[in-house]
A = this chain, B = another copy of it.
Amino acid sequence: MALSTDFGPATALSCRECGTRFDVGPNFACIECFGPLEVAYEFGNVTRADIESGPTNIWRYRGLLPVPDDVATKPNLQPGWTKLVKADNLAGELGMRSLYVKDDSGNPTHSFKDRVVAIAVEAARNFGFSTLSCSSTGNLAGAVGAAAARAGLDSCVFVPANLEEAKIVVASVYGGRLVGIDGTYDEVNRFCSELIGDELGEKWGFVNVNLRPYYAEGSKTLAYEIAEQLGWRIPDQIVIPVASGSQLTKIDKGFKELIRLGLVEEKEYRIFAAQATGCAPVSAAYKAGHDVVQPVRPDTIAKSLAIGNPADGPYVLDIARRTGGAVEDVSDREIVAAVRLLARTEGVFAETAGGVVLGVTQKLLENGKLDPDAETVILNTGEGLKTLDAVSAEARPAAVIRPSLDAFRTAFAN
């Protein structure tokens, strides 16, 4: 089959470890050193005006992504351009001067995964894959199912069988095939790698395995949007959740590209990483001063971050240390409290992962690592409706009464 090879400004895949370059293709590991491959570019002249006149979704940044110039005309979910909420109420409670919440629950399937999947769909089209697949802690499965439906592709997604009910439904409602795996996410992920090596899966595009170099680039759009929404400025500090760690490394890459292209002024910025204590291998390595990350078996309500063996963990450590940031973790109890704090102050109902970020932000303020006077952006990467169980015991009616004024008076006397 003659395939399109239009990946826009992408010119090669490059090994992140040894730098060996390869043609753009459905590959993800370096044949020299087994290091991860990432997309290399030769950018054209991209101006603020070009971007600002683009669509209100991630395709306004198509000149900075491995996609063809006409990508916006193809059937896709049009993710991105989510709100950057000026969180003055929350800042007041935390004693901060300038705080923003980048709220990615506004994406089509209500998590940041729509960004990365949209890029992977383009790669799948280019490589002639007709089935879109993934291993997932839940959000990604829904994003793949929905994106495949819109794009007219088949889908088959793999998740740990013990996921939240909402994520199970969302992963299968779009009509693709959902397969539950008795095991942790890391076991699901290993199984998918086996499947790619087998004839069963050889024609499949696993967005986060064999399409990973393209997929991962989607997270750069978070950096682009934050900078543009701040008026073309990089914030002083940013707090990012860590599952595999890919998102954090790509936000750093996105900021650096904006500086290199002259789209924002050069500045120092500090990147902070947030994990749940029940799955904190990167935080543990950071605190111990290690460069390598020891895998753990996850046990936390923040299931979307429950990756015990994070592929990009060492890069996260490097970025946090290089930029003057830090890595921190919070307990499940702190996560729930933070979800409720964000809802109460800003009307944003975050997934548990958002609670991890806000909880860590509070802890970093307490231990003096985060500057309360510096402009700070924190990420909410998912939607509270998908992790209802975390708050459903506490978010209840104040009373249930008959429809009468007397009943109301009795229930709420003084």
Contacts and interface: CB of A to CB of B under 8 A. Distances in A.
Interface of A: 56, 75, 77-78, 81, 83, 86, 88-89, 106, 108-110, 145-150, 152, 159, 161, 165-166, 168-170, 172-175, 177-183, 187-188, 190-191, 194-195, 198, 200, 339-340, 343-349, 383-386, 388, 391-392, 395-405, 408-409, 411
B182 A340 contact: no
Given A175-B340, A187-B403, A146 B89 contact: no
Nearest to A177: B398
A197 B348 CA distance: 33
B388 A150 contact: no
Copies in the complex: 2
Contact of A173 (B106, B108, B190, B343): B343
Nearest to A190: B403
Given A75-B88, A349-B173, A395-B173, A344 B149 contact: yes
B347 A385 contact: no
Instruction: Give the most central of A174, A180, A402, A411: most B CB within 10 Å.
Output: A174
Nearest to A194: B405
Contacts of A399: 179-180
Nearest to A142: B349
Q: Which 7 A-B pairs have the closest CB atoms?
A: A146-B347, A175-B344, A180-B400, A191-B403, A150-B347, A149-B347, A385-B385
Contacts of A385: 110, 166, 170, 383, 385-386
Contacts of A187: 403
B179 A408 contact: yes
Contact of A396 (B86, B110, B168, B398): B168
Given A178-B397, A194-B404, A195-B405, 14 more contacts: A56-B56, A109-B349, A146-B348, A149-B343, A159-B397, A170-B349, A172-B398, A173-B343, A175-B343, A175-B344, A179-B399, A195-B408, A198-B405, A385-B386
Contacts of A83: 78, 108
A81 B56 contact: yes
B106 A401 contact: no
A388 B165 contact: yes
A403 B181 contact: yes
Contact of A168 (B88, B349, B397): B397
A89 B151 CA distance: 9
Contacts of A159: 397
Given A187-B403, A403-B191, A405-B198, A395 B169 contact: yes
Contacts of A191: 403-405, 408
21 contacts: A75-B89, A77-B347, A109-B347, A146-B343, A149-B344, A150-B346, A150-B347, A165-B392, A169-B392, A172-B395, A172-B398, A175-B344, A179-B397, A179-B408, A180-B399, A181-B402, A182-B400, A191-B405, A383-B385, A385-B385, A385-B386
A343 to B, nearest CB: 5
B400 A174 contact: no
